[in-house]
Structure 1
């Protein structure tokens, strides 16, 4: 699970998960359905008769018409003005998150993007990138944590939240997950905290403030021989209240809740070395609406 679960900083929702932010949740194994083999007659009626030529011609004709209709629809003659960009969802955030093709940000400050557009799309992109930063491995490193707080929170909240983060991620907490005072794993071990947003939803929007929900999955734990905190995955939704300040979207407060989570598969887990190499070899993304 992500290390920030329900520790009281940033969010306003009481209760929820236990204090052990890295406990492993059990999951129902996905069942497999046995498909009939070729040549089997599942319904007992024998093989169906071969279609006649007239039926085949009709089917081909229908397919050709469908292809023609799809091609005409893709010529850009709809409500999007022929730009080829997806229509913007309505103010209530109804509908799936769709890519627009618009450049999401002006640049990056370290690993965190900045310069988001002053519109709903920009707010959603900001929320997705900030969710990644708030549950990253860097948030457990005191020096890097102070920089993250200054970068993504509004100035009025930065000092207060920095103190709350420091209290939440004290040495007692770091000891539980096998990290030293600087947030580093023991020699031979690799601490993993990688989050991937799956989608965003606008709960409320205005030019000054907005509330965005980000549905996320991620991997969290310590990889390596002898680790007492093995890497596992989690699913959660983060709600971020943003303000437009200093020509960018910044976080005023945030909260987190479990799920929605899919059924676990029966895929064999990778060993600790594979996980550690993956974290080192695969970089992160700048997330955009």
Structure 2
């Protein structure tokens, strides 16, 4: 890709990479907070509690006339991200654009199926968070992703789906916005949609889509951006279209056949 010298404050999307897809962070109405860090178990909790009554009303808001208009997502920046921290892109620029790119990539990692397995989860947490909060966060997450919780999702104690079924957990950032930037710290909002559920014939936890905004507080640590804390809110959620829901097997084939995206400058 060609790169420009100007920054437009947005991220760009690369073509899917080969290998294991990096899937979500998620949705719903409750949050799990640990050491000031809100972790994205929300859609999984909603999935586990499916069947509970929900308020059918939706809230509509009036756009803030003082808000900046959205800039196009275009391939700009001084250089592409080429570094890796495991499966997570690394080496983001120390500017607003780099902070947005880091926040989008971290949202993808924190919403992936790997978060439901102990070893991969620890690698993701340590790869995305400030070391000052990582140890406590790992311990709290191990407790949150308990065997009983995983069972309610249809997974075994190791976070593995039953034979013949595919567990889906994938976050897809739609856009990013810098709420605050000082040079060493940044607060970035990542508006996202997510997929979560069990795909395959006989699934009792079908894959559903969610909409949410993840707000990440980042700090420049060493030579990269790292998460200090995060929180998630529901929406903005668009009106559902008229698309017919696909069969569970079709969803499973799609998840296995389409890789995830890397979000970079």
- Structure 2 residue corresponding to 1:266, chosen from 238, 242, 250: 242
| Displacement after TM superposition at 1:104 (Å) | 3.9
Structure 2 length as normaliser, TM-score? Answer: 0.77
Aligned residues of 2:35 and 2:136 also touching (Cα < 8 A):
no
- Structure 2 residue corresponding to 1:101, chosen from 58, 76, 94: 76
Pairing 1:7–2:43 present: no
Structure 1 length as normaliser, TM-score? Answer: 0.71
Aligned residues of 1:104 and 1:125 also touching (Cα < 8 A):
no
Quickly say closer, same or farther: Cα 1:142–1:18, change in 2 above 3 A. closer
For 1:195, the equivalent position in structure 2 comes to: 171
| Displacement after TM superposition at 1:182 (Å) | 1.6
- Inter-partner Cα distance in structure 2 for 1:271 and 1:160: 41
Structure 1 regions of 5+ residues with no counterpart?
A: 29-91
Structure 2 regions of 5+ residues with no counterpart?
A: 1-24, 58-65
- Structure 2 residue corresponding to 1:229, chosen from 205, 209, 224: 205
Deviation track 1:167-225 (CA, whole Å, cap 9, x = no partner) reads 11111110000111221100001000111100001111011111000000011100112
- Inter-partner Cα distance in structure 1 for 2:108 and 2:169: 9
| Displacement after TM superposition at 1:158 (Å) | 0.4
- Inter-partner Cα distance in structure 1 for 2:44 and 2:169: 18
- Inter-partner Cα distance in structure 2 for 1:259 and 1:160: 29
Aligned residues of 2:88 and 2:105 also touching (Cα < 8 A):
yes
- Inter-partner Cα distance in structure 2 for 1:107 and 1:19: 30
Corresponding residue pairs, total: 223
- Superposed CA RMSD: 2.5
- Inter-partner Cα distance in structure 1 for 2:191 and 2:43: 21
| Displacement after TM superposition at 1:10 (Å) | 6.0
Aligned residues of 1:220 and 1:233 also touching (Cα < 8 A):
yes
- Inter-partner Cα distance in structure 1 for 2:55 and 2:84: 38
User: Which protein, 1 or 2, shows the higher relative CO under an 8 Å CA cutoff with sep ≥ 6?
Assistant: 2
> Which structure has more strand as a fraction of its residues?
2
| Displacement after TM superposition at 1:163 (Å) | 1.1
1:135-214 mapped onto 2 (5 Å cutoff): 135-214=111-190
